[in-house]
Chain A
């Protein structure tokens, strides 16, 4: 079997095991949560009979192993179950929200990469200078920011005080066609900026250090000795190699982005999967939580798989 095919199959198998592991851990963790879903679904003043009926109706009265087996069987058939609280299929609850999360995290990634690469290059090119120290300082500060605090601050300054952006939501009511898309962009700006701000530091610092390392390599020294201008060596030679770890970081950061989206979507009243997770936690809606985590696990695994495959294509040493 060709090395690339074998490499792909191994990564695929590893991805499947990871998803199964995530599904199982999620299933068990939710049931270990201290809390009674019947209390969240019905009323604290319900009778024991009502409580038993609620647990029976939602299949929570069965032994754990039976619930697990039933869940796995349904899952391989593409059935994520039915929301306890909304009475709707989990897949439709999540699919309704997924485009918003994809848009938000994708936009945040684009902003991060577009701003992060020039900043990282600038810092590396002027390593040790005041500018480098400033960029590093900002990078470290950005990593320590708490998403909700950033969100409320941006909303207060840019939304309430300056009135440049709307306060929460994904779009305005009563707008249609092109105006609707513009409204979507206006509502997207602040949450995407918040997410980008808190993850930018990781990109800048990673890129800076890998770029400084690359610039010290023999091939860069040779290129410069051969008369190639420094700017060209920096952007065409060193940056290309330094971007490999950054590509990996994009895959790794996806998980972080999704985690950040839970808080960002909650603060900005953005109707994505993250906010769905927040609401499902407060309502102990196990099926929605399980479905959301399966969706996120699959997303992260697929992103990492694609990153691995791209890396494998770029660097044959990885395939072994």
Chain B
């Protein structure tokens, strides 16, 4: 053996020795470390995910892949149905008792896995701690009008507001994930608690359909079914276990599905794979409505783009149909260039017409605006193949209208930073979840809104959005929001191109999944995975 191979063999031997520390021990016996979980049921259901769980504390971070696991551990107050309407989950009733008080009434039949009941105190403590400790997550941004939270009975929580706000209750209900006060409170600040170690019995105290019992970082996360989950159709989950296996590469994920090593791929399929898998043996593809949109935004700090005719010209220089057909292979629906997207059926206008692709009109509008320099820099996320391909098509289409789009594709983090800094002329991007129109408009189009990237400041629009925020009934919000949306569309403050339909692939041996909109919820939401079964 040469010196080189001796050295390599030594490395292998050292690694093998170190691996003995990684070798799992055989379980001691049934029932150990199961945190109230039970081994019966069908399956296991093996779900492919793309990354490890970063935070087991569901109130930190904004990772979709984390949520797939933590949503099975910690209950949300509200869910959302296929029509984009909020519906009961842990909360059975919600609303406002007066202009400055919101409330949630919660179920009285759910318990944490250690036997402690879930009470309004858990909910109030979770929400108040988010206000106090300000963990870096999505929920805090939805709580702007909330001054304090208190439990007024075992099942009722009240939110005290600084001003009337019609959307804060449903938004908090949708984004809030409730954690056990008796576990989290002793750990100090909610913002610093990683929640990455199990209790003494080897599991995490949780209240979802499955209890997390084993973590093998880089490999898998094993969750065992619990006896009692009232949100499931049969009052308990069907699968004996849900096992999340980590595949960073989507090609490997799909090979694992086709080989039968996994039963469900949690992330949406790339558009190019949908048709192939729809006809593949042993695989079914579920269609999931998107809850967001892809859009173009024009930087109005740039003098040329401050003119509405220039923005209209740019909007007329894109062939939206072609982009949906070529890039997304028809897997998208037009939003009629309206920010009230079709999935939000209560709000979306039925007759919204999309900006027409009209190169000559684009030329005329550009000329009438007196703009000679028709070159604009288009910023997009280079690592998103859909966006990258769409940008290239847009470049060609704009050229027909005499407009030059200089493509500025960047890596995701660089793209986000450039977006945040307003470093673009035209921005091509997407939002994954826009579940509430009033909230979306506040964030996107009101002065100071955290994603008002174009610095929209239109007094009429602002007045309408504020008025909608004071309407406690959705039916009263609708006409106001439709009027506001017309301003956005007419002034081209935002150019909504489409909502992408999502496709989730799973083994045809499994059925019973419950679809909820968006890739965050899709068929991996807790109710869906509790109802999934192999029993026909």
Asked if A and B bind, the verdict is: yes
Which residues in A have some Cβ–Cβ distance to B below 8 Å?
33-36, 38-47, 49-50, 53-54, 57, 85-88, 96-103, 105-107, 109-110, 112-114, 117, 148, 151-152, 155-156, 159-160, 163, 166-171, 173, 176-177, 180-181, 184, 243, 246-247, 249-250, 266-272, 275-276, 278-279, 282-284, 306, 310
Which residues of B (186-245) have their CB < 8 Å from a CB of A?
Answer: 191-192, 194, 196, 216-220, 222, 243, 245
Q: Check B252 against A168 for contact (C-beta < 8 Å).
A: yes
Q: Check B141 against A45 for contact (C-beta < 8 Å).
A: yes
With A105-B11, A180-B23 as known contacts, state yes or no: A152 contacts B413, CB within 8 Å: no
8 Å CB contact of A54 from B13, B24, B136, B258: B136
Q: Check B416 against A35 for contact (C-beta < 8 Å).
A: yes
8 Å CB contact of A50 from B134, B414, B416: B134
Which residues of B (124-151) have their CB < 8 Å from a CB of A?
Answer: 134, 136-138, 140-141
B14 to chain A: closest CB distance in Å? 6
Main SS of chain A's interface residues? helix
In the complex, which residue of chain A has the Cβ closest to the Cβ of B19? Answer: A99
With A159-B259, A176-B26 as known contacts, state yes or no: A246 contacts B418, CB within 8 Å: no
Asked if B519 is at the interface of the complex by the 8 Å CB criterion, the answer is no
Q: Check B255 against A173 for contact (C-beta < 8 Å).
A: no
Query: Could you give 9 example pairs across A and B, Cβ below 8 Å?
Result: A34-B418, A46-B140, A50-B134, A99-B18, A100-B19, A100-B22, A152-B249, A167-B261, A176-B23
Q: Check B137 against A102 for contact (C-beta < 8 Å).
A: no
* A278–B410 alpha-carbon span in the complex (Å): 17
Which of B2-10, B263-271, B454-462 contacts its partner? B2-10
A309 to chain B: closest CB distance in Å? 12
* A234–B347 alpha-carbon span in the complex (Å): 83
A265 to chain B: closest CB distance in Å? 8
Q: Check A99 against B22 for contact (C-beta < 8 Å).
A: yes
**Which residues of chain B are within 8 angstroms of A152 by Cβ–Cβ distance?**
249, 251-252, 255
A5 to chain B: closest CB distance in Å? 22
8 Å CB contact of A168 from B16, B24, B192, B256: B256
Asked if B450 is at the interface of the complex by the 8 Å CB criterion, the answer is yes
**Which residues of chain B are within 8 angstroms of A306 by Cβ–Cβ distance?**
7
Q: Check B9 against A110 for contact (C-beta < 8 Å).
A: yes
Q: Check B141 against A109 for contact (C-beta < 8 Å).
A: no
A1 to chain B: closest CB distance in Å? 26
Which of B54-62, B154-162, B388-396 contacts its partner? B54-62
**Which residues of chain B are within 8 angstroms of A35 by Cβ–Cβ distance?**
411, 413-414, 416-417
Asked if B282 is at the interface of the complex by the 8 Å CB criterion, the answer is no
Asked if B425 is at the interface of the complex by the 8 Å CB criterion, the answer is no
A-B contact number at CB 8 A: 219
**Which residues of chain A are within 8 angstroms of B535 by Cβ–Cβ distance?**
none
Most B CB contacts (10 A, CB to CB) among A41, A184, A247, A268 go to A41
Which residues of B (113-133) have their CB < 8 Å from a CB of A?
Answer: none
With A97-B218, A246-B2 as known contacts, state yes or no: A103 contacts B16, CB within 8 Å: yes
* A100–B412 alpha-carbon span in the complex (Å): 29
* A110–B3 alpha-carbon span in the complex (Å): 11
Asked if B248 is at the interface of the complex by the 8 Å CB criterion, the answer is yes
Known: A35-B416, A87-B194. 10 other contacts (CB 8 A): A33-B414, A34-B413, A36-B417, A45-B451, A47-B140, A159-B255, A180-B24, A250-B3, A269-B218, A284-B413
Q: Check A176 against B414 for contact (C-beta < 8 Å).
A: no
1/0 per position for B412-443, CB-CB distance to A under 8 A?
A: 11101110100000000000000000000001
Asked if B12 is at the interface of the complex by the 8 Å CB criterion, the answer is yes
Q: Check B61 against A85 for contact (C-beta < 8 Å).
A: yes
With A42-B136, A110-B8 as known contacts, state yes or no: A243 contacts B218, CB within 8 Å: no
With A40-B413, A86-B194 as known contacts, state yes or no: A109 contacts B138, CB within 8 Å: no
B68 to chain A: closest CB distance in Å? 16
* A23–B274 alpha-carbon span in the complex (Å): 45
Q: Check A243 against B261 for contact (C-beta < 8 Å).
A: no
**Which residues of chain A are within 8 angstroms of B418 by Cβ–Cβ distance?**
34
With A53-B136, A103-B15 as known contacts, state yes or no: A169 contacts B219, CB within 8 Å: yes
Asked if B51 is at the interface of the complex by the 8 Å CB criterion, the answer is yes
* A100–B216 alpha-carbon span in the complex (Å): 13
* A36–B16 alpha-carbon span in the complex (Å): 39
* A269–B250 alpha-carbon span in the complex (Å): 10
Q: Check B252 against A269 for contact (C-beta < 8 Å).
A: yes
* A117–B6 alpha-carbon span in the complex (Å): 13
Q: Check A114 against B220 for contact (C-beta < 8 Å).
A: no
**Which residues of chain B are within 8 angstroms of A88 by Cβ–Cβ distance?**
194, 196
Q: Check B249 against A267 for contact (C-beta < 8 Å).
A: yes
Q: Check B196 against A86 for contact (C-beta < 8 Å).
A: yes
With A40-B413, A114-B5, A246-B2 as known contacts, state yes or no: A109 contacts B252, CB within 8 Å: no
8 Å CB contact of B54 from A86, A117, A310: A86
Asked if B52 is at the interface of the complex by the 8 Å CB criterion, the answer is yes
B143 to chain A: closest CB distance in Å? 11
With A159-B259, A269-B247 as known contacts, state yes or no: A283 contacts B9, CB within 8 Å: no
